[in-house]
């Protein structure tokens, strides 16, 4: 472990002490934790920027269109239990709706 001296405002130092105490850490451990989180965020942002330069807007738009074309409305069994009880009418007439004859989960028999 290396020793580093940093200059902080009194306010910042006091707040770090309070946060460290609340978390059961030393100020040094807290600063190390904060630093590692920042490094991770910076590395993630750099990686996303690099990946974006290799990406293709046309391919992304084609993929989004394929998803949109394949989208179907949710089935009654896809809804949360409280929404299923409020749903009235026959299930959606799609091949997806006809493939399953099982009862929705979470519903009393």
Give residue-wise pLDDT tens across range 11-59: 999 999 999 999 999 999 999 999 999 999 999 999 999 988 888 888 8
Question: What is the spatial distance between Cα 27 and Cα 49, in angstroms, rounded to a whole number?
Answer: 33
The pLDDT of residue 42: 97
3-state secondary structure of 19: helix
């Amino acid at each position: 472990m290396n020793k580093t001296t940093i200059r902080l405002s009194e306010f910042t130092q006091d707040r770090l002490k309070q946060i460290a105490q609340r978390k059961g850490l030393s100020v040094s451990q807290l600063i190390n934790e904060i630093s590692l989180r920042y490094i991770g965020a910076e590395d993630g942002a750099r990686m996303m920027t690099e990946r974006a330069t290799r990406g293709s807007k046309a391919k992304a738009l084609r993929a989004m269109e394929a998803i949109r074309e394949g989208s179907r409305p949710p089935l009654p069994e896809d809804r949360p239990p409280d929404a299923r009880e409020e749903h009235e009418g026959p299930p959606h007439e799609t091949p997806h709706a006809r493939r399953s004859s099982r009862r929705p989960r979470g519903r009393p028999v």
